[in-house]
A and B are shown apart, each in its own frame.
Chain A
Amino acid sequence: MKNHLHTLKGAVVLALGLAAASATAQAGGEQYFPLQSYRVGPYAAGGTGFFGGFIDYLQYVNLKEGGVNGVKLTWSECETEYVVEKGVECYERLKKGLNGAPAAATNPLSVGIAYATLERSTADKLPLITINHGRTDSTDGSVFPYVFPLQLNPYSEVSAIINYIGQKSGGLAKLKGKKIAVLYHGSPYGKETNPILELLSKKYGFQLVSLEVPHPGNEQQSQWLTIRQQKPDWVILRGWGVMNPVALKTAQKTGYPADHIIGNIWSNSEEDAAPAGAAAKGFISITTHPSGTQFPVLQGIKKTVLDAGKGNLADAKRFGTVYYNLGVVNGILNVEAVRLAQAKFGKKPLTGEQVRWGFEHLHFDDKRLKEVGALGLLQPLQLSCADHEGGGAVRFQQWDGQQWKVISPWVQADRKLLRPIIEDSSHKYAKEKGITPRDCSKES
């Protein structure tokens, strides 16, 4: 018995020693991505798709290139269930890195968690990536050096939608006298764009009808009856989760045509349209990244990761869907930031502060997009100290009953109009918090 115990003890010590050695060995050359993911709960469909795509891209870079310049990418997940408190807890748990590998950035894909960790991220010098969402005024990097609403902030989103409606009406001047309804989720996310829509309605002379749908949005009869009574020319759907298919079903029930409803960036996935069945046919939404698997980067992921049985998706049919592709796009942007930062700070694992520099110098033109196999998947964008959004353009897609079909070229938001509003808000924030904005002319 004693011998057995001795052998067991020896084995445990050996195993612990090997584990420690392997952790140390990894720590020398790994860059860590802490993932505040959500795979259960009401928004799990979005979480599994997004984090599936993100992880598959990181895996792809490891398998294809051996990491970024030899620095392997590593990650671990912490389940948030999209709950803010859990998101903050996960942030605190993961921010210090993994086995000595430093954290590059956090990507919570949640407005609530992003707001709750915004100041911590700045204090910890860890970039907070809020791709296609988040606080609009964090576009101003002089006040928010560590926050990046990459590609599209909420103001740009609605501005691009109004520009598209203008195009469809024969020019922005023709918006005068039109009626546009916005059906928004009853949350800070849903309400964020209301002031901008009001501003745009005054600028272009259209009548705005704003209707709130209380969370989670599984009953919308009264809102859609009001829409039927008001007879708007277009309805902008600013939904999330279950609110989207219910909106489409109720629109059908009350006789409003789906092809005059334009979904925003969180109303644009297969999970938003498909559950509505026939009611969704013709529904239009914006996107920053089309669904589909034809892009070289997705083909590469399929060949290198999925076909090798190393994919992250539980349901392989979701490969190439909107949420998955957003995860891939997010992966491309994160990895590119690490790559750029390595060019400045050396080919080694980097601190969050160093990776932040990489994000701030992201520059994707057509040539670079082609090199990473994402031409057409990702819009050309360039970030800077002052501009943490970088793109501000969307395309429009239409649901044909089975899948999304892109129906427009890139439509740009009116960023010149929005910039002073963003700066007003960010400077107000700076004043409240006692922040001295960076002088971006002196940043390199």
Chain B
Amino acid sequence: MSPADLIARVPLGFLLPGVQARVDALDDKIDPTQREQLVAYGLAPNRPLVVLQQRPMTLVMIDEVELALEDSVARHVWVTWR
């Protein structure tokens, strides 16, 4: 397996700006209603996203939607990143 094939599974809040990743799962520590909202915004399993910035909040682009997430949510969104 070459290094390019390695896939890391990390919380969204850990990624650097500019990184492209794919949503893996929203963990149970996120409030159920908020999980529904995140899915409605497009932050659903297997969907691609780009991290735009991490401070003062995590800002991601999903399709053409810019979504800002507080750190306490971003650290419970698991993404895969190659």
> Are A and B part of the same complex?
no
